[in-house]
Structure 1
């Protein structure tokens, strides 16, 4: 167990450093889509510490609680946790989830389906249905749901399947709605301003993976 924890800690530190560099590079390369460009320099300085610390907690907890049946399951679970944490960070800070981060996440989900013995049709249906439903919601809400949220839900469907995606989507919408209402009441957001739902979906998925 001690060796496993040390390996988890080392993996978390490496993933945190590389993840912070990736996020910082994407922030620097896409200034036109940053929602709060004036905060980017300060945010870039804290990314490595923040990601290393949170990933250490996640990875060590995952190992301690034996959340995976074998090494292959564990590798995919840690990969899943890493990307969800990065999405939470970028969407919370700048209301953006980069396509360059969603593509490998979705691709890994497809690779995991046969390797982990998952119900392939169910997961493919979840991805397609999640994309379609949230695309309709984006049209109905006139942009209340962003393109990043649509693609995130589709990728989560590939990872989670229909039942778990429904749980994550409903939980995220409820939590996001409550948070948006509180921001309006406290006048920290005005009606019609952009609101990031992504972190509420990613946090819900993380909690589901850890319980």
Structure 2
């Protein structure tokens, strides 16, 4: 009996039938499989193939975690920049400096990325809801400028405050819908 084949068979079955259940499991199994298969053309011994497979599994796992963390930071940063652009538009409706806009949007993007990286899905849901609501308001203002222009360019403090209230209310409904969808997905599992 060839124990080499059994190890590969076990990892293959694990990846084939249980890979979708756990990203970590899929990454580890795939990394191991890559390492193992790389050693086959060289007729490596069982111990060498095992060591290379385990090293590739750990390397793939570390790489995947770095990529996921960077991806969350990037998505949170983009949504944070959208929020920053909307906040700047509400706070500075008349006096606009290009340099100040760039700095403000970059800072809120960076903060959005940090918050998302730290708190993951709950923060991402909130940041995406706020960013999406900002786009909805801007879309309404562009689509119906005679009615909703204050959502894009508020004329005074009261219009800016009202636009901010509408924005937060819309974002809250978006967040609630996201939470309910997440809860439904969790219940169906």
Name the TM-score, length of structure 1 as normaliser: 0.31
More helix by share: 2
Which protein shows a greater Rg? 2
Greater relative contact order (Cα < 8 A, sep 6+)? 1
Name the TM-score, length of structure 2 as normaliser: 0.34
